[in-house]
Structure formats: structure tokens, C-alpha cells
Structure 1
Amino acid sequence: MLRRRNPPRPRTPAEPYADRLSRVRALLGRRRLDGYLVLDRMDQYWLTGFTGEDGGVLVTDSAVVLLTDGRFEEAADLEAPWARRVIRRKRGPDSIARVLKRYKLRRVGFEPAHMNVELHAELRKLVRRARLVPGRDLIGQMRLCKDEFEIAAIRRAIHVAQQAFELVRRWVAPGRSERQIAARLSYELQRRGAQGPAFAPIVAAGANASRPHYQPGDARIRAGDGVLIDWGARVGWYVSDLTRMVWPASMPRSIGRIYNVVKEAHDRAIAVLRPGVKASAVDRVARQTIGRAGFGKRFNHALGHGIGLSVHEGPRLGRGAEGRLRPGMVVTIEPGVYLPGQGGVRIESDVLVTESGCEVLSTLPY
């Protein structure tokens, strides 16, 4: 049983949602679709501003329907009062099927990455008159280039992340544990207005820094350790993603050469960032710089990725990446060198691709 709650009066969405919905509706026409079903939470937020979990959004040429449950009914009223709400009483394909039938849709686009095989099979049985047409990450492609609202939100997320880090950097000292530093960083992010960390902070001391996605533990910092800190803030649902190295004392001479190589790779990659450049070409510049120094096999991940509502989204900057950079993309540049048993160095910045080049949004020294 479904209960539909209509708003007290018709309203149209404010920007930026009106423009985004117009783009989706233009896509419906080009692909001869009657509607588009969006099940990914971040895609839903991008389209409507609705923050509810475990729901869906159906876009047709004349309606936007939020499918949610009673926990988020008030949020739907506040965040997307112009949309039609369908409040379901239980989870499952039945509620989605009823909405598709109600609008008499024949060709419905969807994102295969966000619909499992079981749900797809059930919907095909329940809505026999509708054909489900895979969209191949169409919303994700629209999210690649950020609009002015998104860029402003990412700037705020970077600002909060940097403020928190500046304080925690001074707090890093021999005897403190990785876990203590990660907890303090998460606290300082929220104290400065973040919804929380963009992801669980990575704090890797000494030899632990040889693992790029290390999880902080109880290891305590020693005087000669380098500490790799990878963190970000989520502010207004948008994220930042940064990495810096911290030395409680001076940088050991043995690490100095590696650090300079990583710094050079980072700076050279940023120097070639501009519209039209292949994402793989930017990765290649950093990889060749590290390779010439003799550490090529120790740079074992892609150079970077897009950020926005998600910490990892398109475009990918790595070997084999076919896409070209476009104005409005916000990407990380994060080369690293990792030596098992010794430690590692990574430097990461957040960079906006502009009409004529790029702008490094993060301003922390490195």
C-alpha cells in the first residue's frame, strides 16, 4: 500500500536542480525514453537536493517522483517540495513497479551499476509493458563537470579540511598513536562545520606508510618517523581529498630524495592539466618523472580521480584512461612512492580544470 503526499501548491525546482532536470529530460528525448529511474543516493541528491536514504527518483517529461519511506517524508517536504512524493510502507520492487505503472511508461532508463540482478528481474515480471533500458552511467557523465554551486561547495570542503589539518599537524608528536591522530582530525573537521570526514582518515606512521590505503592502528609515532595523512571533509554533501606528510622532527635524509621526486611528479602533472588533455597523459607525466628516478615500480596506483559528491568519481587519471579533461572537472593529483618495510611518501592536491588551464584549489604548503 502506498500513500502519495502532494505538496500544498505546485512549485518548480530552484537552481541548480531545474537545470539538471532539464538536462535529464533532454536526454529522455534523445534516447526515446518515457522516464529515467535513479536509484543511487548521490545521483538522487544531485538531481533533487533530497538527502533521504534507500529510495529512488523517477524523472519523466512532466514529473519528478520521489520514492521514499516515512522516515524521510518530512525531509522530502523540506528539501524538494516541488516533487511528488510516494511514501512506501515496505521495501522491495512492488513500490517501484506501481509508480512505473501509474505513469504508463513504456521505455524506462536506469543505471545498471545501481540496480542489482534480482531487482531488475522482479521489475521485468511486475511491469511487463515497460522496457528497462540501461543508461550506462548517464547521470555520472553529467556529474563529471561541476557547476558553480558544486565548485563553491568543494571550496568550502577544502577550506574546512585545511583548517582542521593545520591544527592537527601541530599536535602530531612522538608517543601519539595513529588512531589518536585520526580521531582528533575527524573531531576537528566536525568542530569546523563538516558533516564529518569525507572518508575514514588514513594516518600511517613510519614503515606503515608503504601501504597506500592503510588503516590507522595503535602504532605510536617515533621521533624519526614520517607520518602520511590522507583526509578530507564533507561539507554540504561535497568532499575534499588531500594528503600531506608530517615529520615530528626534521625530514630524514634518506626520505628527502624520495620526497623531492614525488613533489616534482606532483608539480609536473599539475603543469599539464588543461582542457583537451587526455587523462592518461597527465598520469604519464607523473609516472615518467618517478620512473626516471628509479622508483617506477613503487608508484602502484592511478595518479588521481574526480571528486564531488563522492570521494572517488570520474574522471579517472590513470594508465589507459581514455577521457579528456574538460572545464569544471575537479580532480585529485596524488603521486606516491611506497617502499615496503621503509615507508612511503604521497602528496595530494585538489585541482579545478578551468577554461584556459587549471586552478589548484588546495593551498596547504607541501
Structure 2
Amino acid sequence: MDCDRVVIVAGESASIPSYFDSAIGGVGASPISPLGSGHAKVKSNSPVTVDIVHLHRGYVSDCTRMFSAGALDSRWMERLDHMAEIQKAVVSSLSQGDDCSKAWEIGSFMAKEMGYSDNLMGMNPDKSHFLGHSVGLELDETPVIANGFNRPLCIGGTMAIEPKVIYPDGCIGTEDTFVRTEDGMECLTMGNSFPLFTDWN
């Protein structure tokens, strides 16, 4: 596989919105390249988001995992557990052949019930309003898990599902790429084989 792009944001940098429709952006190394954490040192016990785009024979996969130097407090871990629950519900909806707009309704309603309305996929006024995007030859393809996409992911379609919550002091969430088969959604990236969170201390 070829590594196409990796966005790494740590702590407060994760709250800086992106120049494109994405949950995370970051300060970046300079105004010419405003993406990623920049030059700040990673603080202990602070969430580090690693969003990796790979290409395999020209086809895109997208995956996110969380790291930290030292344990994260229980608030962050609860948020991560909740994002995993939302991802699971969205995957289940798509597996049943629901429209992508229905999957969005399910996921965004869960987030609201969990108390994340103001933080799901960004903070106002820079929120993104989606929970996943199709991938293929391009990183962002259609359909998208968002309002207005009133069609299902077709059999053979591939989609990255990425619920995240963003706060002034950091971001946390998960992402994997799935393909829809006759039997439901199959994970193409790391899935359960790589933990959602790793403390590298």
C-alpha cells in the first residue's frame, strides 16, 4: 500500500477547523500547509488523532485511531466508546440497505441523545454535517452519510465511517473503511484487529 496522506492532530490543534469539509484540520506547519498539528509538543494525557489515507492499487482506504502519551481521563474514553457505538449503528443501518440519509438520522440522533449535538464532527460555526463518505479512486465520493442522500450504499460500494467529537482541548473518534456485500458490511481496514486507543507510554 502507498500512504497518500496522514493527518495527525494533538490536543488543542484538533479544534482548528479544516479548509475543506472535514471534522479535523489543525494548525499545520505553516499557512501554506494548514493541516495537522504543526510544531507544538504533544502534551501528556492528551488525545492524539491519527487519520491515515492509504492507496492500494489506486483505490483509497481511510482509517483513524487514537493515541496518547499517558492515560486519557474517563471523559475521553467514554466519548470514544460512544463514537464506536455510533459507528456500529451506522454500519448496521447500511447493512440492512437503509438510505444513507437514514443512517445519518440514526447516528446523529444517537449523538444528540448522548449529549454531543454541539461537538459531533466539529464545533459551531465550522461543523461538518456527515458521518461517513464513500471512497474509491478518490477520497471523497458519493453517497455520503448525510442529510439528503436518499439512496443506499450499493452492493460493492466502499465507505469510510468516521464519527468524531471535537472540543477546544482535543478530538476523539474512530474510522474504518467498509464494503457492502450481499451479506452486509465488511471491514476493509484494521477494524477490531487494532485497538481504537493506544497509550504509547
Q: Does 1:226 align with 2:54?
A: no
Inter-CA distance 266–276: structure 2 relative to 1 (3 Å threshold): closer
Structure 1: distance between partners of 2:102 and 2:13: 30
**Correspondence for 1:359 among 178, 186, 192:** 186
Structure 2: distance between partners of 1:261 and 1:210: 19
CA RMSD after TM alignment: 1.6
Q: Does 1:284 align with 2:96?
A: no
Inter-CA distance 356–235: structure 2 relative to 1 (3 Å threshold): closer
Once the two structures are superposed, residues 22-49 of structure 1 have per-residue CA deviations (whole angstroms, 9 ceiling, x without a partner) of xxxxxxxxxxxxxxxxxxxxxxxxxxxx
What is the aligned-residue identity percentage? 25
**Structure 2 length normalisation: TM-score?**
0.78
Inter-CA distance 276–259: structure 2 relative to 1 (3 Å threshold): closer
Cα displacement (A) at 1:275: 5.7
Cα displacement (A) at 1:204: 0.6
Task: Say which structure is richer in strand.
Answer: 2
Contact 1:232/1:240 (CA < 8 Å) preserved in 2? yes
Q: Report the residue type matching 1:315 in the other structure.
A: P
Structure 1 unmatched runs, 5+: 1-159, 161-193
Structure 2: distance between partners of 1:297 and 1:206: 18
Quote the residue 1:337 is aligned against: 165
Structure 2: distance between partners of 1:323 and 1:351: 17
Quote the residue 2:30 is aligned against: none
Structure 2 unmatched runs, 5+: 17-23, 27-34, 121-126, 197-201
Larger Rg: 1
Other structure's SS at 1:264 match: helix
Structure 2: distance between partners of 1:224 and 1:231: 22
Other structure's SS at 1:319 match: coil
Other structure's SS at 1:297 match: coil
Other structure's SS at 2:103 match: helix
RCO higher in structure (CA 8 A, sep ≥6): 2
The ranges of structure 1 where at least 4 consecutive aligned residues each deviate by more than 2 angstroms after the TM superposition are: none
Quote the residue 1:210 is aligned against: 15
Structural mapping, 1:94-243, within 5 Å: 160=1, 194=2, 197-199=3-5, 201-211=6-16, 212-214=24-26, 215-216=35-36, 217-243=38-64
Task: Say which structure is richer in helix.
Answer: 1
Structural mapping, 1:267-278, within 5 Å: 267-274=88-95, 276-278=97-99
Structural mapping, 1:303-318, within 5 Å: 303-318=131-146
Contact 1:337/1:344 (CA < 8 Å) preserved in 2? yes
